[in-house]
Amino acid sequence: MKHLLLAVLSGLLLAFGWPTYGFPVLLFIGFVPILLVERDLRISQIRWKKWTVFGYSYVSFVIWNFITTNWLQYADVFGASFAILVNSLLMALLMVLYHSVAKRAKSTISLLFLMCLWMSFEKLHLGWDFSWPWLNLGNGFSEYFTWIQWYEYTGTFGGTLWVWIVNILIYKLIIKYQFEKSVKNLKKDGIIILCVVCLPIIFSLTLYYTYTTEGEQINVIALQPNIDPYSEKYNVPNEAIADLLLQLTNNEITEHTDLVVAPETVFADNVKISQLKDAYFKRKLDLYISKHPNLNILTGISFINFITDASQIKEQSNYHSSGFWYDDYNSAMMLNTSDSIQLYHKSKLVVGVETLPYKDIIKPLIGDFMIDLGGTLAMKTTQDARSVFVTENPNLKVGPIICYESVYGEFVTGYVRNGATVLAIVTNDAWWGETQGHKQHLSYARLRAIETRRDIVRSANTGISAFINAKGDITSSLAYGTQGALSGTLTTNDKMTFYTWAGDYIARIAIFIAIFVFLITMFRKSKIS
């Protein structure tokens, strides 16, 4: 019973340390109870130790995953169950690997392995087909962003490293107390822990209050049409959507407005790329721009491209039962007085909704299974590079980030490396209703602002649309579930942060260390440590 209670405690500490409702200090002790459970089992004489470690760990991580991400069920119960149960399974397997190494190595080495293994797992979640980095530990400070201004140097992996170092120090402090039974000898360790927690915060606050931007002020409008994606969005003609967007824009536009941003796939009635130039809804937008020649309109749009040449069929292309192939795109588009249309196709896709992971393996087993969230049930086609939309103003270069892409730190730096001076997030968070889903998604955008030191405009179909400055402050926002337009200013920035240049270097170092320690220790005989 003691071990079960400790496992439950770990899950609750991690869950209630999570944004947007939690207090992240709890993350600093969240892993300690399950580490104590693992140690008790390791030095015990029970059988099936690995399975027991797995069982208690799974309890901890299911609790954490369920409390923080159960909002997924509002879009799809199966998808939510898969994400929660499988992600918890993977986390529990990490504890089993740690248990195997801890039997063969000294405590410090095995704990180093666990820390690096966890960061390796988080890096995996940023890149593999079942990508789900929502619970990467560095995200846990998104509401307490004044504590982690140094993410401009480390990215979120700096936060993960911070969490694990403190957990390990507290865990070792407890083990030391169990041996010595004296508080007097623990003062030095306690001071070290306090410094490890407080010094990064002090450094961060210094960065926060001294950071200044020197770029150009850009006047921007974020549109929030508030269209129900389940019952309305995919049944409204693009021409009617254009009228609505222009009506909302008229409420806020001035002669100084530089940029208008509309949400992800707001033009949801699939447009053939070859016919876009002459589409009636585009003509409406072009006419509006002609009356406001300084204006740039960035909007989400759904595209389709029918393939007539078999050599153009891609891995992500879709086959229709009528006998033809086509590419389906979730895209961003920018229009201005230029004759050219700038396009970007979403490239970080939602598993089960926009992409079928490991298609060659899974398709023969379950067929073309895709979760129905409205619109076309098809795999989306991506692009390799991060497009940056340019304007006649040489200082205004916009990185168009589409929805789920905003959760990926190193991915977003690609826009900045390609010249983006501001970032625009277009999204549709209505699938989850009034839950933590859209709140966490907005909160994570603060991390991208800090990592790249770029101001962000966020246009969300049902909300929360917002302006976020380069320090992570939400300077203004439009409430969830309301229709309207939000005007504000962004400050351009053409300087690159260290993280933008170096990317997830902490994770890469961690992967190397984890592999090295694992290979060395697994050749040793088991021992109690």
- pLDDT, residue 374, reads 43
Taking Cα atoms as reference points, which of 249, 238, 245 lies closest to residue 292? 249
Question: Percentage of the chain surpassing pLDDT 90?
Answer: 75
Q: Return the higher-pLDDT residue of 356 and 276.
A: 276
For residue 399, the cross-strand partners are: 423
Whether residue 517 has pLDDT greater than 90: yes
- Give the lowest-confidence range in 244-258, 287-301, 372-386, 473-487: 372-386
- Give the lowest-confidence range in 88-102, 193-207, 227-241, 264-278: 227-241
Cis peptide before 464 (omega within 30 of 0): yes
- pLDDT, residue 368, reads 53
Give the number of other Cβ atoms within 10 Å of residue 255's Cβ. Answer: 8
Q: Which runs of E-coded beta strand occur in 1-42? A: none
What pLDDT, in 10s, does the model give residues 455-502? Answer: 999 999 998 999 999 999 999 999 999 999 999 999 999 999 999 999
Give the number of other Cβ atoms within 10 Å of residue 205's Cβ. Answer: 13
- Give the lowest-confidence range in 216-220, 310-314, 450-454: 310-314
- Give the lowest-confidence range in 267-271, 287-291, 314-318, 517-521: 314-318
Question: What is the rounded CA–CA span in Å between residue 171 and residue 22?
Answer: 22
pTM: 0.93
326-347 mean pLDDT: 93
- pLDDT, residue 526, reads 58
The phi and psi torsions of 224 (rounded to 5 degrees) equal -135, 85
- pLDDT, residue 233, reads 65
285-300 mean pLDDT: 95
Question: What is the rounded CA–CA span in Å between residue 507 and residue 5?
Answer: 32
Q: Report which secondary-structure segment, H or E, holds 278.
A: none
- When pLDDT is cut at 50, 70 and 90, the band that residue 370 belongs to is very low
Distances (CA, A) of 153 to 159, 211, 220, 421: 11, 14, 28, 18
Q: In the chain, helix, strand, coil percent, each to 5?
A: 50, 15, 35
State the average pLDDT for the chain: 92
- pLDDT, residue 483, reads 96
Whether residue 364 has pLDDT greater than 60: no
Whether residue 375 has pLDDT greater than 90: no
- Give the lowest-confidence range in 250-254, 324-328, 366-370, 442-446: 366-370
